[in-house]
Amino acid sequence: MARLIDSVVGHTAVIDQLIQMRTAGRWPHALLFAGPSGVGKRKVALAFAQILICEKEELACGVCGPCLRVAKEQSESLLFVKQDEKAARPTIKVEAVRDLLDSLSLASMGKNRVVIIDDAQTMNPQAANALLKTLEEPFENVFFILIGEDLNQFLPTIRSRVQVIRFAALSLAQIQQVKPGQPDWAYRSSRGQVDRLDLLASPEGTQKREEALGLFEQFCANQDFLLANDWRPQIKDRTWAQFNIICWLQIVRDLVILKTQANKFILNTDQLERLKKLYSIQSKKLLWLAQQLVRAERDLLGNGDPVLIFEDLWVKYARE
């Protein structure tokens, strides 16, 4: 088995920076990997866990016992803090952090240990505070890697005690390398995120995307959109409401591009004929709609009611 670092696609600047920190002996006790989901942050975290835990080489050998155990995620030196899956919303609870601190208090015989906290933004305030104490008075040879999307989702007290490493989305070529054999429109619409690509290319995602375009046509054309009830059940589901907004943003973007005749930049290449039928919507209105959709996406993340958000959007659209 090779080193994990060799199988990471993209993120070369980030990796160079991290390698430099390692070789210069400046590896901090807490890092926060921030950036879009599905771009490989967890993979990079595991790769550097291997580097820190390997006992043979500074940048990991990939073949010693500790290296192999990290690769299998079965190393006693590699600890994870996991979400409570049973909670209504995925949450990292204080018990999970306390369990971690208990296991960290056991002696490690001077060996490095790495703690990976994925979806760290889901720590509830008690969990974040419990972690904070550890970040203030770190254990010897224990290195934390927190993984999250948006820095604003973290308490300022946490942010001030970690070194932030920013990750960008994958390029088109990179995501094709990570997940070959997917349809062109799915790559283009994935925003360089593998989780989004998986969703789009899944049978369910393909169908929902089709529905999203149908709903968009209805939204733009139907004077009785508010009276129609057929769209409410699918929008009620928050995940699909978010997915719908993503699809609509891409449709709006494509419609604006259509007007500039730069068709090679179209994302929904397979839906071109249907998009052309929406050509009459004015650019000004499309740009307005794009802004409103971005706002709606935020409202949804902030726990707004999906159906109300879409009703409100349509009322404003009809008036615009």
**Closer to Zn ion at the Cβ: 67 or 194?**
67
Could you tell me the two tokens for 116? 């990976």
Residue 71's CB: how many other CB atoms inside 10 A? 21
Single-letter code of the amino acid located at 160: S
Q: Binding to Zn ion (CB under 5 A): which residues in 34-93?
A: 54, 56, 61, 64, 67
Rounded to a whole number of angstroms, the minimum distance from the CB of residue 30 to Zn ion is 23
- SS3 sequence of 140-187: CCEEEEEEECCHHHCCHHHHCCCEEEECCCCCHHHHHHHCCCCCHHHH
Return the residues of window 126-155 that contact Zn ion according to CB under 5 A. Answer: none
Q: Determine the size of the site formed for Zn ion (CB under 5 A).
A: 5
Rounded to a whole number of angstroms, the minimum distance from the CB of residue 71 to Zn ion is 10
**Which is nearer to Zn ion, 70 or 197 (by Cβ)?**
70
Minimum distance from residue 67 beta carbon to Zn ion (Å): 3
Taking the complex as a whole, how short is the minimal distance between the CB of residue 80 and Zn ion, in angstroms? 20
Write down the least CB distance from residue 61 to Zn ion, Å: 4
Rounded to a whole number of angstroms, the minimum distance from the CB of residue 60 to Zn ion is 5
Query: Which residues between 186 and 225 bind Zn ion (CB under 5 A)?
Result: none
Q: Which residue type does 154 have? A: F
Q: Which is nearer to Zn ion, 67 or 186 (CB)?
A: 67
Q: How many helices (H) and strands (E) does the chain have?
A: 15, 5
Distance of CA 152 to the CA centre of its chain: 14
Name which of 64 and 307 has its Cβ closer to Zn ion.
64
Query: Which long-range contacts (C-beta less than 8 Å, at least 24 apart) are formed by 156-161?
Result: 157/128, 157/132, 158/32, 158/128, 158/131, 158/132, 159/32, 161/30, 161/132, 161/135, 161/136
Q: Which is nearer to Zn ion, 2 or 87 (CB)?
A: 2
Instruction: Give residue for tokens 């018990």.
Output: 95
Rounded least distance, CB 50 to Zn ion, Å: 7
Cα 8 from Cα 31, distance rounded (Å) = 18
CA nearest neighbour of 312 among 210, 235, 251, 256: 235
Task: Give me the 240-279 binding string for Zn ion, x by CB under 5 A, dash otherwise.
Answer: ----------------------------------------
Q: Which is nearer to Zn ion, 58 or 184 (CB)?
A: 58
Longest Cα–Cα distance of the chain, Å, equals 72
Q: Of 35 and 66, which CB lies nearer to Zn ion in the complex structure?
A: 66
Give me the residues that bind Zn ion (CB under 5 A), please.
54, 56, 61, 64, 67
